[in-house]
Amino acid sequence: MNPVELIRKKRNGGELTPDELRWIITAYVQDRLPDYQMSALLMAVFFRGMTDTETSTFTDLMLHSGAVIDLSGIPGIKVDKHSTGGVGDKVSLILAPMVAACGVPVPMISGRGLGHTGGTLDKLESIPGFRTDLSVEEYKKVIAEVGMVLIGQTKDVAPADRRMYALRDVTGTVESIPLISGSIMSKKLAEGIDALVLDVKTGDGAFMQSDADAEALASTLVRIGTMAGKTTVAFLTSMDQPLGMAIGNWVEVVESVECLRGKKVPDLMEVTLVLGGAMVMLGGKARSIEEGMALCQSAIWSGRAYEKFLEGVRRQGGATDVLEQPDRYPAPRFVEEILSPADGVVTHFQTRRIGVLAAELGAGRLRSDDVIEPKAGIMLLKKLGDPVRRGEPIARVMGDREGSFHRVAGDLARCIRCGPPEGTPRPTIGAVVDANGKRPWTTPIVH
**Are residues 230 and 257 both part of a single domain?**
yes
Residue 207 lies in a domain: yes
The secondary structure element, H or E, covering residue 381 is: none
Q: From the CA atom positions of the chain, what is the Rg in Å?
A: 21
Tell me, what's the pLDDT at 442? 85
Q: How confident is the model at residue 368 (pLDDT cuts 50, 70, 90)?
A: low
CA distance 112 to 161: 13
**Are residues 317 and 365 both part of a single domain?**
no
Tell me, what's the pLDDT at 259? 98
Report pLDDT digits (tens) over 106-117: 999 887 776 688
Find the angle CA(386)-CA(391)-CA(397) to the nearest 5 degrees: 80
pLDDT at 93 over 80: yes
**Are residues 234 and 161 both part of a single domain?**
yes
CA distance 434 to 156: 30
Instruction: List C-alpha distances in Å: 157 to 118, 131, 231.
Output: 22, 17, 21
Helical H segments across 238-397, by residue range: 250-260, 266-282, 289-301, 304-315, 321-324, 351-358
| Count of structural domains, the chain | 3
**Are residues 104 and 204 both part of a single domain?**
yes
Q: Is the pTM of this model over 0.75?
A: yes
Give the residue-averaged pLDDT of 256-271. Answer: 96
Give the residue-averaged pLDDT of 117-124. Answer: 89
Give the residue-averaged pLDDT of 290-305. Answer: 97
pLDDT at 447 over 60: no
pLDDT at 446 over 60: no
Q: How confident is the model at residue 131 (pLDDT cuts 50, 70, 90)?
A: very high
Give the residue-averaged pLDDT of 349-359. Answer: 95
Please state, for a pLDDT cut of 70, what percent of the chain lies above it: 98
Tell me, what's the pLDDT at 162? 83
**Are residues 351 and 238 both part of a single domain?**
no
**Are residues 321 and 389 both part of a single domain?**
no
Domain that holds residue 306: 79-325
Contacts within 8 Å (CB) and 24+ apart, 2-5: 3/27, 3/33, 3/37, 3/41, 4/37
* CATH number for position 385: 3.90.1170.30
DSSP helix/strand/coil, 106: strand
Of 304, 325, 346, which residue is a domain's last? 325
How many alpha carbons lie under 13 Å from residue 351 in its C-beta half-sphere?
28
Q: At what angle do helices 177-190 and 159-169 cross, to 10 degrees?
A: 140
Which residues are the active-site residues? 82, 161, 168, 183, 187
**Are residues 275 and 387 both part of a single domain?**
no
Report pLDDT digits (tens) over 389-427: 999 999 999 999 888 898 999 999 999 999 999 888 889
- Provide the pairing of β-strand 106-109 with 148-151: parallel
**Are residues 170 and 143 both part of a single domain?**
yes
Q: Give the chain's mean pLDDT.
A: 93
Residue 158 lies in a domain: yes
**Are residues 394 and 270 both part of a single domain?**
no
Question: For the CA atoms of 53, 58, 59, 65, what is the dihedral angle to 10 degrees?
Answer: 140
CA distance 372 to 350: 23
**Are residues 168 and 302 both part of a single domain?**
yes
* CATH number for position 221: 3.40.1030.10
